[in-house]
Structures are given as structure tokens and as C-alpha cells.
Amino acid sequence: MSREKLITLNKGVKKSTWVEDAKFRLANRKWLNYSHEIAKRILTEIKEKNLNQNKLAMAMGISAQHISQIVKGRENLTLESIAKLSTILEVELISFPRYKYSSVALIANLNNNTVFNSAVTSSAIPDGDNSLQYTLVIKADATRVSIINKAA
Amino acid sequence: MEIIPTFDGAVDLWCVVYPEDKVDILTVLFEKWTDTEYLLEFFVKNINDLNGTSWQGISIDEAIKLVIDEVYYLQEKLICINNKLPECWNLTVRDIFTTLNKQEFMLRKHEERFRKGKIDSLPQMLRLYAIELEDNTIILTGGTIKLTDKMDRPHFDIEFTRLVRVNDYLKSELIYSKEGLL
């Protein structure tokens, strides 16, 4: 009875808009989380450097509304914008953990006629040896490719 | 003031559109609880409450994460129920909430699969306030982040005022709540 009364009052016209917003948030959660993290740092720096959002907007050359969206954690910032904000606020807004490249053991059983001419290979093969025919076992890691077995 | 359905069709959960807001209260709450600026300001203002026994001195960063995780989980659950997805086919809105008192609801503890690590044992932060009608229809009036056991913080005054406003509106339309107000 109560619900029927509500339906009558609403005339079935209006409905909540939360679903569309929620679907957007759920679909974009990953970058929105990045945006929240950046927003927290910007807000803290604004306070610590005695700035305000208007001053930051002016320095960035964007509108106050745009800055407002950024500090709410809703803006899909470009790397260029992050760099600019970072320079103005004199703080790194994102950082990159040391990347651990997976150690890949590459076994290259090269045929006699194989031309081994990639940039990596040319640095891996000792100067002057390029004309030799090798079966090479090479190991690649983050910084180097080394010959660990060489058989003519 | 208007009261509109939360989903398509006449389902259990309805929400209020206050004249001062452009959109319904559920949309307003989700916007607010995913607004970094609002959350940071809120927790800076209420940092002493985070140092209480309930919250084990969690950081503002962790508190913000808790709120956002809870919001995402709530959104997912509501969409799941609305779309009658396989994992929610037998659930209603009522099933995902615990009623704390006549008007206060929070997400059910056992539904908290979204929590990981050291904050596993912490209580939920979000509270929804609603009036239940005689036919079990729930009308959402508001919500807040609750850091203390008692409703003794200024932000609860707003919630209480909203409950009274909505109750008065319902009475004026001859719609009666299940158990009266507070």
C-alpha cells in the first residue's frame, strides 16, 4: 500500500541516476584509484606550500573547475599534466618502483648460416668475432646479454 | 522533496531527492564517498577518532581506502541484485545490510570479501539511514562515515534532521513508517 502510494506520487517518471555513475566507476576503477592517489598528494602539497586551488589552476593554465575535478580524484590525467603539476608543486606525484625484469634464459641454437645481427647480439659477440659461426647459449637479464657458452 | 525508486521498477529500495540537491541521495552519497578532497578533509578533521580503539590508529590513507573499497563493494552488490546476476539471484537489498537500529544500516560483515590484510578486523565505516514503511519498503534518507559508537558528531545532526524531514513529508502524504521515528 505504501509503495503503491510512492509510485502514484512519483508517477513513474523519475529514477535514481546512481547506476550509470556506479557502472562508470566500476569500469574505470584502476585509473580512478591512481587519480585518488595523485589527488591526495596534490591536496597535501597545496596546503603545505600555502597555495590554493585557484593559484594552482592559474599556474597550470587551466580552469578552477578542472583543478576541482583533479583534486576530487576524478580526472584521467595525462602524463604531461602530471609532469606539469609535479614541476609546479615541486614534488613527484607518481613514482616507479625498481622494475625487476624476469630473467629469461634464451637458448639460441644458431645454425651455421644464421645471421645474428640484432643490436643486442652485436654487443654480445666480441668485436671481431662476427664472422665466426657459433652455437650460442646466451642469457638475458635486465642489463646485459652475455654469452655463456660458445662453440665453434 | 521527491521519493524515487533506486532501480527500474518498484523495488524495495527508494531514495529521497532533497530540493537543495539536483540528484537523489544515493547518487549524492556515492559521489561524496568517492571524492578524495571530501574524504581527506573529513579524516583530517576527525583524526582523533581514528586513534580510538575501534580503528587501531589506522592512517588517513588507509581510512580513505576503506571507504572507497566499501563504496565499490556496495555499488557492485546493488548492481548485482538489480540485474539479478547468478550470484545474487536470491538476494534482496535487505540481505546485504545489517540493521543497527530502526533507521541505521550498514553492510553485512560476512559480505566483506573486499577487505584484505591488517584491516580485516575493522568495522565498516559507512552508515546508511533510512525509514522503513509498513510494507517493508525502505526509503533512504542519507548516510555518513561513522567513526564512533555514538551519534555524537556534528555530521549526525544532518542525518537526524533528514530523517525528521522525510518522516514529516511521508506523514503529510499519509504514508506511515513501520515503527515510528527514532
CATH 1.10.260.40 positions along chain A are 3-89
Reported as a single tens digit per residue, the pLDDT across A93-111 is 999 888 877 655 544 444 4
End-to-end CA distance of chain A: 92
Interface test with B, best of A5, A34, A65 (most B CBs within 10 A): A5
Q: How far is B125 from chain A (nearest CA, A)?
A: 18
For residue A12, the model assigns a pLDDT of 57
Calpha distance A125→B141 (Å, rounded): 73
Calpha distance A39→A35 (Å, rounded): 6
How far from chain centre, in Å, is Cα A138?
A: 31
In sequence order, the β-bridge partners of residue B145 are B126
Q: What rounded mean pLDDT belongs to chain B?
A: 84
A117: its cell numbers: 645481427
pTM for this entry: 0.79
Q: Which residue has the higher pLDDT, A148 or B87?
A: B87
Q: How far is B118 from chain A (nearest CA, A)?
A: 20
In this complex, is the C-beta atom of B59 within 8 Å of any C-beta atom belonging to chain A? Answer: no
Q: What ipTM does this complex have?
A: 0.85
Report for A90-94, A110-114, B175-179: range of highest mean pLDDT: A90-94
Give the percent of chain A with pLDDT over 70. 63
Reported as a single tens digit per residue, the pLDDT across B36-95 is 999 999 999 999 999 887 888 899 999 999 999 999 999 998 898 888 888 888 888 888
- In one-letter notation, the amino acid at residue B135 is D
In sequence order, the β-bridge partners of residue B4 are B15
Question: Which chain A residues have a beta carbon less than 8 Å from that of B64?
Answer: 36, 40
Calpha distance B129→B145 (Å, rounded): 11
Question: Which chain A residues have a beta carbon less than 8 Å from that of B13?
Answer: none
B180 — pLDDT class (breaks 50, 70, 90):
low
For residue A127, the model assigns a pLDDT of 54
Q: Are the CB atoms for B7 and A14 separated by under 8 Å?
A: no
CB-side neighbour CA atoms (13 Å) of A34: 13
Calpha distance A73→A37 (Å, rounded): 8
What is the fold of A3-89? 434 Repressor (Amino-terminal Domain) (1.10.260)
B78: its cell numbers: 546493488
